[in-house]
Every structure is written in C-alpha cells, then in structure tokens.
C-alpha cells in the first residue's frame, strides 16, 4: 500500500547536484598545477581505495562542535590515499594538503536538469522538503550558490549537526523539523548504505537513486534512474 507521503527528504551530492568538472578532471588539474605526475590508468583503483574512507562511520564519529580543521584533516587524508595509490613518485603523497586546497578552490557544482521541476511539483502538492547530507559544513552555502537553498524547509549538514547517515539521529532530526511521522516521510538518495539503510532504520520510506545503473540487482527498495521517478511513489 502506498504511504500517505507529506515530506520528501533528499541527499545532496549526486542526488541534487554533482561536481562540475567531475572529480577526476579536478584531481588531474590540481596535480598538474602542483607538478605531481599521475599514472592515469591507476586512478580508478586509487579512487575506490580513497572512497572506502567515506563508508559509514560509527555513531559519534563526527567531531562536535563543528571543526573546519577536522574537515581539512579528513580530506587531506583522503587525497593522501589517492596519491599513494596513483602518483608515479611515492613522495608526492606528502603534497596531499596543497592538493586538497587546489582541488577545493577549483571545485564547482551543477544541478541535475530535473531537480527544479521536481521540487516545484512537490511543493505544489504541499510537501515539506528537506536535505539530509553527509557534508563538510558548507552545504547551505553550496545550495545557495546554485540557487536551491530557498527550495527547502530545512537543510541538515552532518558536519554542522554532529550526526551523519546512516545513523538515526540525523533522520529523526529531519522528521522533527518537517513535523511529520516516519511513515509520512520519504527519503531519496544514491547510497544503499547511507541513504536506504539509514531511512529504513528509522522506518521512513526510501528510494535508491541510481543514475548510472550501478545497482541493477538492488531490490530492497524501489530503484529510480532520475528524480522524476519518485512521482510513482508519492
């Protein structure tokens, strides 16, 4: 039976918006700027190794209060892992800090084409709209820069809140701010672990957004290829 959905929550990265240029392009440009030679064919494996650092962490792992220094340390470690796996010269891993600074200085964001129309249709239906994202403290600024900030009733940035997905605290805070019960809320995101597991753990409805067909065999919740697909479920 379809739920009586009154609120829809969204992940941010690769759900509402994506890096522009993409991560690989930005990384290679930053490396060239710092004269770091990269073995290009090793990048994908290196990125997979670094992305393992983004796996769900234990409850309480997010530093509180918010610390930009902690954010910088994490992403410096991420880039050190990348460089250790794909830099031609191992000693270049020591440039992870400057690389992180070059990367973030050049990073931009692009909204997926269907986002604005989808949010508009949901708002016309009277839905409460929110963002729940494992982010680095500047999510509100990023959404403001691309003109999306005003579309949401609230924005939860894990670094600011002190809790991250998939743990229940961040989802319960979303329910509180939306003023709805768990069975009246739907969460949409691109991660089975962070988004689907987190939402189901708090008894919200969940949709897995799979833009590239990466999770073809996934069946625990409905899988959609674009945000337009959520209208089959609200």
Res. 57: pLDDT tops 60: yes
CA distance from start to end of the chain: 11
Res. 194: pLDDT tops 80: yes
pLDDT for position 92: 97
Residue range 102-140, pLDDT digits in tens: 999 999 999 999 999 999 999 999 999 999 999 999 999
b/e map 16-45, b = 16+ CB within 10 Å = bbbbeeebeebbeebbeeeebebeeeebee
pLDDT for position 59: 76
**Portion of the chain with pLDDT greater than 70, in percent:** 99
Residue range 62-91, pLDDT digits in tens: 777 788 898 899 999 999 999 999 999 999
Q: Would you state the structure tokens that stand for residue 145, as one six-digit string?
A: 């820069």
Residue 57 to residue 135: CA distance in whole angstroms: 13
Res. 22: pLDDT tops 70: yes
Going from N- to C-terminal start, the domains of the chain cover 7-18+109-232, 21-106
Question: Which CATH class name applies to 7-18+109-232?
Answer: alpha beta
Q: What is the mean pLDDT of the chain?
A: 95
pLDDT for position 80: 97
Strands 205-209 and 223-224 come out as parallel
Residue 100 to residue 40: CA distance in whole angstroms: 18
């Amino acid at each position: 039976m379809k739920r009586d959905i009154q609120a829809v929550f969204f992940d941010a990265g690769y759900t509402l918006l994506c890096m522009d240029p993409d991560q690989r392009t930005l990384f290679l440009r930053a490396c060239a700027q710092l004269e770091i030679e990269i073995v290009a064919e090793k990048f994908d494996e290196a990125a997979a190794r670094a992305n393992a650092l983004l796996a769900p962490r234990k409850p309480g792992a997010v530093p509180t209060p918010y610390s930009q220094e902690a954010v910088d340390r994490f992403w410096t470690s991420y880039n050190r892992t990348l460089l250790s796996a794909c830099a031609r010269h191992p000693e270049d891993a020591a440039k992870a800090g400057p690389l992180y600074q070059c990367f973030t200085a050049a990073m931009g964001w692009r909204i997926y084409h269907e986002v604005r129309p989808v949010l508009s249709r949901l708002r016309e239906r009277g839905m409460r709209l929110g963002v729940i994202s494992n982010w680095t403290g500047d999510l509100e600024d990023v959404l403001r820069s691309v003109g999306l900030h005003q579309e949401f009733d609230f924005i939860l940035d894990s670094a600011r809140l002190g809790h991250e997905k998939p743990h229940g605290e961040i989802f319960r805070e979303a329910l509180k701010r939306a003023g709805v019960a768990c069975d009246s809320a739907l969460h949409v995101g691109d991660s089975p672990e962070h988004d689907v597991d987190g939402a189901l753990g708090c008894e919200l409805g969940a949709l897995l957004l799979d833009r590239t067909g990466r999770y073809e065999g996934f069946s625990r919740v409905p899988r959609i290829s674009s945000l337009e697909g959520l209208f089959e479920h609200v």
